């Protein structure tokens, strides 16, 4: 059993190596596209964790704002690096202004942060578009080489037909490899975009209670919080 498994692994390794070598030079840039996809995908996956986008400290800060103690957390939130913290900081800078001003400041910042969350996804989509185009280019060049070889040997001979078929087969390897990279990359980008949209909606919902409290004058917000505790 162990010998059979070892033999299968060696055969698979040889087959993959031959496949890659037969595809020609354009297999390397397609491989480069796959490396970029993996790198960007890992970076986005780490960046799109809830704890990194909306840490507990921001949710606690929202509670402080609602209770009328915005001045207590203003300095700490201004220095925080999380996207949700920057959105809340934008609202804190408009504290005491009209409700529409506070909402607009936070919405504009949330829109900017959402674009940043989706930023790396555009690179993945670019690689998903470039990889199959490189594969198609490799196929076209390979077919051109195959026909050039047939032109030299003369059409109609058995060896020329065999050479043409073999050349076209090898030429298609780049397209196969390009699609092999592009399809998972497209699915990964779609998943990351959906996750970014979901996190943006989560941030908006988590910060919503603070909007009205920030729009009130500080004294009114403190009075409101005191009335709530008294009740």
Instruction: Say if residues 71 and 218 touch (Cβ distance below 8 Å).
Output: yes
pLDDT at 73: 85
Residue 125 token pair: 């989509």
pLDDT at 181: 95
Taking the C-alpha atoms of residue 106 and residue 93, their distance in angstroms, rounded to an integer, is 10
115-119 own/partner pairs: CB under 8 Å, 24+ apart: 116/83, 117/47, 117/48, 117/53, 117/83, 117/196, 117/199, 117/200, 118/192, 118/193, 118/196
User: Helices in 80-216 by DSSP H: which ranges?
Assistant: 83-93, 99-117, 119-153, 158-215
pLDDT at 148: 74
pLDDT at 11: 40
Chain-centre distance for alpha carbon 100: 32
Taking only the tens of pLDDT, the chain with its 231 residues reads 444 344 434 444 447 777 777 777 888 999 999 999 999 999 999 999 999 999 999 999 999 888 888 888 888 888 888 999 999 999 998 888 888 999 999 999 999 999 988 888 999 999 999 999 999 998 888 888 777 767 676 655 556 666 677 777 777 888 999 999 999 999 999 999 999 999 999 999 999 998 888 886 654 444 444 544 443
């Amino acid at each position: 059993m162990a010998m059979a498994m070892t033999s299968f692994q060696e055969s698979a390794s040889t087959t993959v190596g031959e496949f890659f070598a037969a595809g020609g030079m354009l297999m390397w840039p397609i491989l480069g596209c796959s490396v970029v996809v993996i790198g960007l995908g890992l970076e986005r996956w780490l960046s799109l964790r809830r704890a990194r986008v909306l840490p507990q400290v921001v949710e606690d800060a929202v509670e402080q704002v609602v209770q009328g103690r915005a001045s207590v957390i203003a300095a700490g939130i201004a220095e925080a690096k999380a996207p949700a913290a920057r959105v809340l900081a934008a609202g804190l800078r408009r504290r005491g202004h009209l409700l529409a001003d506070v909402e607009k400041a936070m919405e504009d910042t949330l829109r900017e942060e959402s674009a940043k969350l989706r930023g790396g996804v555009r690179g993945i989509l670019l690689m998903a578009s470039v990889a199959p185009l490189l594969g198609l280019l490799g196929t076209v060049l390979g077919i051109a080489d195959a026909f050039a070889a047939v032109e030299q040997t003369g059409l109609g001979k058995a060896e020329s037909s065999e050479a043409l078929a073999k050349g076209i087969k090898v030429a298609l390897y780049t397209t196969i490899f390009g699609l092999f990279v592009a399809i998972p990359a497209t699915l990964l980008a779609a998943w990351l975009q959906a996750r970014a949209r979901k996190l943006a909606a989560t941030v908006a919902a988590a910060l919503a209670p603070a909007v009205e409290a920030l729009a009130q004058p500080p004294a009114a917000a403190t009075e409101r919080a005191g009335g709530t505790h008294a009740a």
